[in-house]
């Protein structure tokens, strides 16, 4: 008999990870959570903060800072600091103009180009190439969830007091189909369905901006049907060591503003940043959060 965790996941710490770990930190709370988790394990992670992206609090500990157009220098930093493991965590809001960065004399251009696209830029093939490149230098690339396993969405079930009603289940199906489809084309990882119709698809703007758009469409009476569901799921071809879809308290807050009834995320391939706070925020607002299994395609 196998056991699955539908209830709040265990907070037990994982065994320490061999060797020192570098967190290449984009924006958001994920790099912070990874750093905290490693420190609890007694590790002293090196933060490699991406300028203009990483949270200010990450600069409190031992850190290096690189600009997104200087990422070619990352390997040098990793070597100098005796790093064994690398975690790519967080998003990149400010997407660089590659042409400008790829001027002659910029050194290690291929690695640079690959790195530039490693985060949320979403090109899975390239992301795999980046990871392969880092590993070719002898580093081990880990997914954030390998360090903070409690961060992964649990097995299929309901995380909140509220459950999805029949209409919401229909919305989930519609949005999930769309989210998987745009994921398969490597465009985005989220969709919103209201009244059993998909009304918004995630592109570069990200989930919070998409939720705000739906809030505005409701305000302008462009959407008058009640309810609705946000679905986030991994791409069918997802590289699980980077760019896993994530939700957190802000997702719940924006879903409330958008008038949605709930959030459905893929079990085990979605991150919940701050499980307790996120579920508590949903419970307080009367939203449901459910997890689902991605069906084999």
Phi/psi for 212 (5° steps) reads: -65, -35
Q: How far apart, in whole angstroms, are the C-alpha atoms of residue 23 and residue 49?
A: 8
| Nearest CA-CA partner of 53 in 67, 74, 63, 72 | 67
What are the E-state strand segments in 119-214? Answer: 140-142, 157-158, 190-194, 197-201
How far from each other are the two terminal CA atoms of the chain, in whole angstroms? 27
**Closest approach of Cβ 200 to its own copies, in Å?**
4
Please say which residue, 88 or 182, places its beta carbon nearer to its own copies: 182
Asked whether position 226 contacts its own copies by CB under 8 A, the answer is yes
What are the E-state strand segments in 19-80? Answer: 20-25, 46-50, 63-66
Asked whether position 2 contacts its own copies by CB under 8 A, the answer is no
Beta bridge partners of 49: 25, 65
**Which of 181, 240, 256, 280 is the binder for its own copies (CB under 8 A)?**
181
Binding segment for its own copies among 140-148, 217-225, 241-249, 283-291 (CB under 8 A)?
217-225
Please say which residue, 152 or 192, places its beta carbon nearer to its own copies: 192
**Closest approach of Cβ 235 to its own copies, in Å?**
13
**Closest approach of Cβ 7 to its own copies, in Å?**
35
Please say which residue, 6 or 257, places its beta carbon nearer to its own copies: 257
**Which of 199, 247, 255, 282 is the binder for its own copies (CB under 8 A)?**
199
**Which of 76, 79, 95, 163 is the binder for its own copies (CB under 8 A)?**
95
| Nearest CA-CA partner of 273 in 296, 293, 244, 297 | 244
Asked whether position 237 contacts its own copies by CB under 8 A, the answer is no
Asked whether position 163 contacts its own copies by CB under 8 A, the answer is no
Please say which residue, 38 or 193, places its beta carbon nearer to its own copies: 193
Asked whether position 203 contacts its own copies by CB under 8 A, the answer is yes
Q: How far apart, in whole angstroms, are the C-alpha atoms of residue 286 and residue 271?
A: 21
- Give the x-and-dash track for 53-92 against its own copies (CB under 8 A): ----------------------------------------
**Closest approach of Cβ 263 to its own copies, in Å?**
18
Burial of 172 (0-12, 13-18, 19+ CB in 10 A): buried
The DSSP bridge pattern shows strands 157-158 and 288-292 to be: antiparallel
What tokens does 136 get? 């070719």
Beta bridge partners of 80: none
Site for its own copies in 97-136 (CB under 8 A): 97-99, 121-123
Burial of 289 (0-12, 13-18, 19+ CB in 10 A): buried
**Which of 140, 173, 225, 257 is the binder for its own copies (CB under 8 A)?**
225
**Closest approach of Cβ 116 to its own copies, in Å?**
11
Binding site for its own copies (CB under 8 A): 93-99, 121-123, 177-178, 181-182, 185-188, 192, 195, 197-201, 203-205, 209, 213, 217, 220-226
């Amino acid at each position: 008999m196998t056991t699955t965790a539908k209830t709040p996941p265990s907070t037990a710490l994982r065994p320490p990870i061999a060797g020192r770990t570098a967190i290449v930190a984009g924006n958001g709370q994920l790099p912070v959570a990874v750093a905290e988790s490693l420190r609890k394990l007694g590790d002293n992670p090196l933060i490699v903060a991406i300028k203009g992206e990483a949270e200010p609090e990450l600069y409190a500990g031992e850190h290096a800072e690189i600009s997104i157009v200087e990422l070619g220098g990352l390997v040098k930093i990793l070597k100098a600091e005796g790093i064994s493991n690398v975690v790519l965590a967080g998003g990149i809001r400010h997407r660089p103009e590659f042409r400008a960065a790829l001027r002659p004399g910029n050194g290690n251009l291929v690695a640079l180009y690959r790195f530039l696209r490693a985060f949320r830029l979403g090109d899975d093939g390239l992301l795999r190439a980046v990871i392969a490149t880092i590993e070719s230098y002898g580093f081990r690339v880990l997914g954030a969830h390998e360090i903070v396993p409690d961060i992964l969405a649990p097995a299929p079930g309901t995380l909140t007091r509220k459950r999805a009603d029949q209409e919401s289940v229909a919305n989930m199906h519609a949005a999930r189909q769309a989210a998987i489809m745009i994921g398969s084309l490597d465009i985005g990882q989220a969709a919103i369905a209201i009244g059993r119709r998909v009304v918004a698809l995630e592109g570069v703007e990200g989930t919070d901006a998409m939720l705000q758009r739906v809030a505005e469409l409701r305000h302008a009476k462009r959407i008058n049907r009640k309810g609705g569901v946000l679905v986030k799921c991994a791409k069918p071809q997802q590289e699980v060591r980077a760019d896993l879809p994530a939700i957190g308290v802000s997702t719940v807050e924006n879903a409330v503003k958008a008038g949605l009834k709930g959030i459905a995320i893929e079990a085990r391939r979605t991150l919940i940043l701050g499980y307790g706070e996120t579920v508590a925020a949903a419970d307080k607002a009367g939203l449901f959060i459910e997890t689902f299994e991605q069906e084999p395609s």
